Amino acid sequence: MKYNDENSLSCVVTLAYLSARNRYRIEREEKSGKGFADFIFYPRRRKLPGIIIELKADSTPKEAIRQIRDREYCEKLEREGVERQLLVGISYDTLQKTHQCRIEEAHSS
């Protein structure tokens, strides 16, 4: 069995955010900008921020957030009028079996 790959981490993120279903519409592998974001959380209420999560194996959370920005994953949230966005980069080291996370706030242009 594999416990430290992108699909396993995706499942953990999905389970961790099941309680968010009332506040967010959650899309996995969502086409946005110049690629596919691992997760986009569309807020159901205007006061909540949108959330974009990018998972990276054997990389860094900073690189995951750079990918969100470079590939313009915020585009779909911006088109829906979501002004506040949280960019979440989660990395996992397949050898050390450790995870790291970084969260940054971005605003629509």
pLDDT bin (cut points 50, 70, 90) of residue 61 is very high
d(CA 28, CA 14): 9
Whether the Cβ atoms of residue 20 and residue 13 lie closer than 8 Å to each other: no
Residue listed under structure tokens 């999905």: 14
Q: How confident is the model at residue 1 (pLDDT cuts 50, 70, 90)?
A: very low
Domains of the chain, first to last: 6-107 (3.40.1350)
Q: Phi, psi (5° rounding) for residue 80?
A: -90, 10
Q: Kindly report the pTM of this predicted structure.
A: 0.83
Q: From the DSSP assignment, how many helices (H) and strands (E) are in the chain?
A: 3, 5
Cα 83 to Cα 43: distance, rounded to the nearest angstrom: 11
- The predicted-structure confidence for 68-107, as pLDDT tens digits, reads as follows 999 999 988 999 999 899 999 998 888 887 889 999 998 6
